[in-house]
């Protein structure tokens, strides 16, 4: 399981932006140390949301890349299935995915959203603005 999350978080073998790279870009481009207005807060959160969508919600085949770059054994298949089931239960919409690479795409999407929302919360911003 750790291999899956680490690949999405900061792997040099990940051909796409990692969560750490997106957070760094967000801090450089959108984050204000001090803000006074709700509109500024919302703009910072929208910046993170837009970075999230441009990297994880755009049809890129992260799962396929992950599978091509890693040795697949029973433990990894079981971890993918377990994580998929957990995120499927948490998801607010109906998810039924059969292919392993598509399950990984879903896992990477859900994991990135959760991690990026945590960053918003850590910076004492209102995560309810996510997606508005």
The confidence score (pLDDT) of residue 48 equals 97
The domain of 64 spans 2-129
Contacts of 87 (CB under 8 A, 6+ apart): 106, 107, 110, 111
Tens-digit pLDDT profile for residues 62-90: 999 999 999 899 999 999 999 999 999 99
pLDDT range class, residue 34, cuts 50, 70, 90: confident
Residue 60: pLDDT band (50, 70, 90) is: confident
> How many domains are contained in the chain?
1
Mean pLDDT score of the chain? 93
pLDDT of residue 93: 83
CA distances from 61 to 17, 27, 38 (A): 13, 26, 36
């Amino acid at each position: 399981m750790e291999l899956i999350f680490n690949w999405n978080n900061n792997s040099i073998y990940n051909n796409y932006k990692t969560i750490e790279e997106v957070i760094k870009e967000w801090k450089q481009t959108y984050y204000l140390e001090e803000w006074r207005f709700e509109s500024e807060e919302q703009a910072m959160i929208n910046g993170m949301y837009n970075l999230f969508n441009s990297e994880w919600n755009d049809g890129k085949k992260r799962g396929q890349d992950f599978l091509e770059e890693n040795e697949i054994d029973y433990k990894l298949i079981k971890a993918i299935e377990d994580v998929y089931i957990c995120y499927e239960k948490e998801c607010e919409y109906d998810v039924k995915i059969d292919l392993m690479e598509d399950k990984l795409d879903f896992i990477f999407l859900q994991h990135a959203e959760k991690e990026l929302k945590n960053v918003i919360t850590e910076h004492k911003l209102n995560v309810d603005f996510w997606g508005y």
